[in-house]
Amino acid sequence: MTENEISYQIRGAIFNIYESLGPGLLESAYEATLIYELKKRGLQVESQVPIPIIYEEIKLESVFRLDLLINKKVVIEIKSVEKLSPLHHKQLLTYLKLTGYKLGILVNFNSDEIFKNIIRKVNNLNQD
């Protein structure tokens, strides 16, 4: 599957979860539910994936963690906050840069309009 095909499946899973659970739960509840829903769709899901940081010649292990990594191609950063801040967007872009993955999805489940709170972030992704 391409990153865009995976993204389509992720968006569908997010909509199903939001429709069923609604806003206001902790991020961990949405993460667990999203893992289940994506696996049910036949996708490979890794959670809390460590991101090593290379600084000069030093490798720092497990400084940051990806919330979810789907099919070793798409990163999902899950939030359940009143409003996404510019920092949340920068965080995902930095994760993409550090890992080399091309597509990330930032989702804020604590919203009245979920479709406005699923944001794609790209790192040199071909949009075909």
pLDDT tens digits for 56-106?
A: 888 887 678 999 999 999 999 999 999 999 999 999 999 999 899 999 999
pLDDT of the residue at 126: 58
What is the band of 53 on the pLDDT scale with cuts at 50, 70, 90? confident
* d(C-alpha 124, C-alpha 103), whole Å: 8
- Is-contact 42 67, C-beta < 8 A? no
Domain 3-122 listed as CATH 3.40.960: yes
Stated pTM of the model:
0.90
Q: At what angle do helices 3-21 and 27-40 cross, to 10 degrees?
A: 120
Domain boundaries, the chain: 3-122
Task: State how far the Cα of 82 lies from the Cα of 7, in Å rounded to an integer.
Answer: 24
Q: How far is CA 100 from the centre of its chain?
A: 14
pLDDT at 125 over 70: no
Classified as helix, coil or strand, 77 is strand
